[in-house]
Amino acid sequence: MADTQVEHKTAEEEKKEILSEYKRLLRMSEAVIKTPEQLELVRKAFKVAVDAHDGTRRKSGEPYILHPIAVAQIVSEEFNLDHTSIACALMHDVVEDSDFTLDQMEKNFNSDVARIIDGLTKIKGVTSNTSMVKAQAENLKKILLTLSDDVRVILIKIADRLHNMRTMKSMPERKQVRISSETLYLYAPLAHRLGLYKIKTELEDLSLKYTNRELYGDIAKKLAATKRDRDKYIKDFINPLKAKLEEGGLKDFKIYGRPKSIHSIWNKMKKKKVEFEEIYDLFAIRIVIDAPENKEKSECWKAYSIITDIYKPQPDRLRDWISNPKSNGYESLHTTVLGPKGRWVEVQIRSKRMDEIAEKGVAAHWRYKGQKGGGNDLLEVWLEQVRDYLQDPAANPLEFLSDFRQNLYESDIYVFTPTGELKNMRGGSTILDFAFSIHTELGAKCIGGKINNKLYPISHKLKNGDQVHVLTSTKQKPNEDWLSFAVTTKARARIKSYLNEAMRLEADNGKMILERKLRQLKAELSKDLTEQLASHFKQGNSLNFLYNISVGKFDLNELKKVTIVNNKIENLVERKARPIEEESYGEEMAQGADLMLFGGLNNVEYSLAKCCNPRQGDKVFGFITINKGIKVHLDNCPNALDMKTKYPYRVVSTIWGRQDKVAFLTGLRITGIDDVGLINRLTNVVSNQMNIDMRSISFDTVDGVFEGLIKVYVANNSELKKLIIAVKAIEGVHDVRRIET
Ligand code: MN
CA atoms within 13 A on the CB side of 426: 27
pLDDT score of 98: 84
- CA 93 to ligand 1 centroid distance, Å: 6
In this predicted structure, the answer to whether residue 41 has a pLDDT above a threshold of 50 is: yes
455-484 pLDDT, tens per residue?
888 999 998 778 899 999 888 889 888 988
105-160 pLDDT, tens per residue?
889 998 889 888 888 876 655 444 434 556 666 666 666 666 666 778 888 999 99
At residue 580 the predicted structure's pLDDT band, cuts being 50, 70 and 90, is very low
Residue 419: exposed, middle, or buried by beta-carbon count in 10 A (0-12, 13-18, 19+)? exposed
Cβ(362)–Cβ(80) under 8 Å? no
Distance CA(633)–CA(629), nearest Å, equals: 13
- CA 124 to ligand 1 centroid distance, Å: 10
- CA 203 to ligand 1 centroid distance, Å: 16
Q: Is the sign of the CA dihedral 695, 701, 702, 706 positive or negative?
A: positive
Supply the pTM of this predicted model: 0.57
In this predicted structure, the answer to whether residue 622 has a pLDDT above a threshold of 70 is: yes
- CA 161 to ligand 1 centroid distance, Å: 7
- CA 50 to ligand 1 centroid distance, Å: 14
pLDDT score of 528: 86
CA atoms within 13 A on the CB side of 279: 25
pLDDT score of 574: 39
Cα–chain center distance at 151: 19
Report the pLDDT averaged over residues 481-497: 87
- CA 67 to ligand 1 centroid distance, Å: 7
Distance CA(483)–CA(486), nearest Å, equals: 5
In this predicted structure, the answer to whether residue 658 has a pLDDT above a threshold of 60 is: no
Helix (H) or strand (E) holding 41: helix 36-52
In this predicted structure, the answer to whether residue 43 has a pLDDT above a threshold of 90 is: yes
- CA 52 to ligand 1 centroid distance, Å: 13
pLDDT score of 373: 39
pLDDT score of 572: 45
In this predicted structure, the answer to whether residue 643 has a pLDDT above a threshold of 90 is: no
Report the pLDDT averaged over residues 29-35: 88
Question: In terms of residues, how long is the chain?
Answer: 741
- CA 1 to ligand 1 centroid distance, Å: 24
Distance CA(533)–CA(513), nearest Å, equals: 14
At residue 231 the predicted structure's pLDDT band, cuts being 50, 70 and 90, is very high
Catalytic residue status for 700: no
Cβ(712)–Cβ(693) under 8 Å? yes
524-571 pLDDT, tens per residue?
888 888 988 888 888 878 888 998 898 888 888 888 888 887 778 775
pLDDT score of 285: 94
Distance CA(295)–CA(292), nearest Å, equals: 5
Catalytic residue status for 97: yes
pLDDT score of 587: 33
- CA 329 to ligand 1 centroid distance, Å: 28
In 123-212, alpha helices (H)? 132-149, 151-166, 173-182, 188-193, 197-211
Q: Helix or strand or coil: residue 248?
A: coil
Mean pLDDT lowest among 123-132, 236-245, 599-608, 639-648? 123-132
In this predicted structure, the answer to whether residue 509 has a pLDDT above a threshold of 60 is: yes
- CA 162 to ligand 1 centroid distance, Å: 10
In this predicted structure, the answer to whether residue 255 has a pLDDT above a threshold of 90 is: yes
- CA 174 to ligand 1 centroid distance, Å: 19
147-206 pLDDT, tens per residue?
666 778 888 999 999 999 999 988 888 888 888 887 887 788 888 877 788 899 999 999
At residue 598 the predicted structure's pLDDT band, cuts being 50, 70 and 90, is low
- The sheet with strand 253-259 has its strands ordered as 253-259, 283-289, 344-351, 333-338, 319-320
In this predicted structure, the answer to whether residue 6 has a pLDDT above a threshold of 70 is: no
pLDDT score of 237: 94
Mean pLDDT lowest among 61-65, 109-113, 382-386, 480-484? 382-386
pLDDT score of 703: 66
In this predicted structure, the answer to whether residue 586 has a pLDDT above a threshold of 80 is: no
Report the pLDDT averaged over residues 586-600: 42
- CA 160 to ligand 1 centroid distance, Å: 5
pLDDT score of 323: 83
At residue 380 the predicted structure's pLDDT band, cuts being 50, 70 and 90, is low
In this predicted structure, the answer to whether residue 54 has a pLDDT above a threshold of 70 is: yes
Long-range Cβ pairs for the range 533-537 (8 Å, 24+): 533/559, 533/562, 533/569, 536/562, 536/569, 536/572
Report the pLDDT averaged over residues 422-428: 78
In the chain, pLDDT over 90 holds for what percent of residues?
Answer: 23
pLDDT score of 562: 81
pLDDT score of 138: 66
> Which one is catalytic: 96, 524, 587, 735?
96
In this predicted structure, the answer to whether residue 721 has a pLDDT above a threshold of 80 is: yes
pLDDT score of 256: 92
Q: Which amino acid is at 576?
A: K
> Which one is catalytic: 17, 21, 77, 97?
97
In this predicted structure, the answer to whether residue 453 has a pLDDT above a threshold of 50 is: yes
Q: How many CB atoms lie within 10 A of CB 92?
A: 28
In the chain, pLDDT over 70 holds for what percent of residues?
Answer: 80
- CA 348 to ligand 1 centroid distance, Å: 36
- CA 74 to ligand 1 centroid distance, Å: 12
- CA 360 to ligand 1 centroid distance, Å: 21
CA distances from residue 714 to 20, 651, 669, 732 in whole angstroms, order as listed: 85, 27, 15, 24
- CA 55 to ligand 1 centroid distance, Å: 16
Maximum average pLDDT range among 144-148, 409-413, 495-499, 628-632: 495-499
pLDDT score of 70: 96
69-106 pLDDT, tens per residue?
999 999 998 888 889 999 999 999 998 888 888 888 88
Q: How many CB atoms lie within 10 A of CB 8?
A: 7
Distance CA(126)–CA(367), nearest Å, equals: 32
Mean pLDDT lowest among 23-32, 81-90, 299-308, 321-330? 321-330
pLDDT score of 577: 38
pLDDT, mean over the chain: 80
Distance CA(599)–CA(612), nearest Å, equals: 21
pLDDT score of 660: 43
Which of residues 427 and 499 earns the better pLDDT score?
499
- CA 222 to ligand 1 centroid distance, Å: 34
Report the pLDDT averaged over residues 648-662: 60
Distance CA(548)–CA(617), nearest Å, equals: 11
In this predicted structure, the answer to whether residue 292 has a pLDDT above a threshold of 50 is: yes
